[in-house]
Chain A
Amino acid sequence: MDCDRIDSILESYGYDHSAIISIMQDVQGIENYIPEEALRYISEKMELNLARIFDIATFYKAFSLEPRGRHTIKLCCGTACHLGGAAQNLDQLKRTLRIEEGGTTEDRLFSLETVNCLGTCALAPVVVVEEDYYDSVKPGSLGKILSTYSSDSED
């Protein structure tokens, strides 16, 4: 945990209690998840009830209290993508990666997340790995998508 960076984030929001969600988003930006100590640290520094922080951290799905994999796969389960077969894509991903939604593979290479619509419904069904969008994804094309990311892990 990087206390200095957290301090400067807290500073930039002036320790304002109402900014706690933005603060937590920024802190999550450091390591792509928020460790428990970080939340305890924020609570102490801001003099803000830990129960409220814990509520926020578990209520909003953007926050992760567990470390995530190197590549985050976001599979859209919005209506357009659902009709396009997102559920079958999800099943296929779960089978090949052997993880559940929200899970991370054992080698910490991939985390699998579902999202509710990325606003690119015209291209449904959509899968996003890191920042790369894949449109009109079919269960059969997932293997190829994954392999572009698994191969670059060796370097």
Chain B
Amino acid sequence: MSISRTRYDAVNRIFCDAIKDEAVKIPIIIDNRMVQIEQGTFIIEAAKKADIVIPTLCYHEAIKPYGACRLCMVEVVQNRQRRLVTSCNFPVEPGMEIFTDTPGVRKIRKTIVELLLARCPGVSLLQTMARQMGIDRPRLKKRNDKECILCGLCVRFCEESVGVGAIGLSNRGTDREVATPFKVASDVCIGCGSCTYICPTGCIEMLPDEKTPCLRSMKMEGHSCPSCSNNYQCDSCATDQEFLVEMRRVVSEFRNLAEKAPS
């Protein structure tokens, strides 16, 4: 798809002017608004600067982007070419114009939610999203009755933020699932509960285990994220900040304990 010459020239002019003003940061246009942002930051962060909400399922600012749910897709126009990219892991470049709410984008998001709902019909988060997007009657056949949407947040959080890696992904394709090794209780889990907190569908349950001496829980009762009042914008959420602080406390407490009493 190419865009008209006049539009291209107009956009280019704005950029040239803007670059003169700002040396370090680059200007980009997002939903017809200009933001100054460092080159290489991901589109989603640029959008946030412009107060634009992009729905996500597998993104959390505390860990590396993953690009799996594809819900955050936006349209990018660059070098007169229009294309769809995932905003959570696509870096901004000079001369980029971004549209976060085009008919094409909306259609993709809708299909993704429909597909996930067919996989996990009982998940309230997906039901809410579907309602917001105006999906009333399911077109797709119910395929499964799972709860996990395979966003990988739990696995990546456990590995990257907690630094443990007690749970992982296993199998592939339609059998891909989140599991502890050999599907038995993990011997490295410190019981911090990060996975249960971070899971957007609430499908991880922690079972208190007498035999795991270091099991400790975060004091996070009462914050149930699967029903979010903040449109799942974790990074602008007080609960989330609280959680990160609490998670780090638990992890360091665990580390201290482990250092003091080597097994």
Contacts and interface: CB of A to CB of B under 8 A. Distances in A.
A55 B165 contact: no
B165 A58 contact: no
Contact of A55 (B169, B186, B188): B169
Interface stretch (A44-52, A88-96, A124-132, A135-143): A44-52
B203 to A, nearest CB: 18
B170 A52 contact: no
A91 B240 CA distance: 53
B165 A49 contact: yes
A118 interface: no
A54 interface: yes
B154 to A, nearest CB: 11
Contacts of A49: 159, 165, 168
Contact of B171 (A36, A52, A59): A59
Given A50-B188, A51-B165, A52-B165, A59 B172 contact: yes
A16 to B, nearest CB: 19
Interface in B158-193: 159, 165-172, 179-182, 186, 188
Interface in A79-94: none
Contacts of B166: 51
A54 B170 contact: yes
Interface string A42-84: 0000000111111100110000000000000000000000000
Contacts of A55: 168-170
Contacts of B155: 51
Contacts of A39: 181
Contacts of A50: 181, 186, 188
Please tell me the size bucket of the interface on A.
Answer: 10 to 19
A118 B130 CA distance: 45
A36 B182 CA distance: 8
- Which residue among B155, B169, B172, B181 has the maximum number of chain A CB atoms within 10 Å of its CB? B181
Given A59-B170, A59-B171, A59-B172, A54 B165 contact: no
A66 to B, nearest CB: 12
Nearest to A60: B172
A49 B169 CA distance: 12
A53 B168 CA distance: 9
Contacts of B170: 54-55, 58-59
A39 B184 CA distance: 14
B172 A54 contact: no
Contacts of A51: 155, 159, 165-168, 180-181, 186
Nearest to B164: A49
Contacts of A59: 170-172
Contacts of B171: 58-59
- Which residue among A39, A52, A53, A58 has the maximum number of chain B CB atoms within 10 Å of its CB? A58
Contacts of B179: 54
27 contacts: A36-B182, A39-B181, A49-B159, A49-B165, A50-B181, A50-B186, A50-B188, A51-B155, A51-B159, A51-B165, A51-B166, A51-B167, A51-B168, A51-B180, A51-B186, A53-B181, A54-B168, A54-B170, A54-B181, A54-B182, A55-B169, A55-B170, A58-B170, A58-B172, A59-B170, A59-B171, A59-B172
Q: Which 9 A-B pairs have the closest CB atoms?
A: A51-B168, A54-B181, A49-B165, A58-B170, A50-B181, A58-B171, A55-B168, A59-B172, A51-B165
Interface of B: 155, 159, 165-172, 179-182, 186, 188
Given A49-B168, A51-B155, A51-B186, 7 more contacts: A49-B159, A50-B181, A51-B166, A51-B180, A58-B172, A59-B171, A59-B172
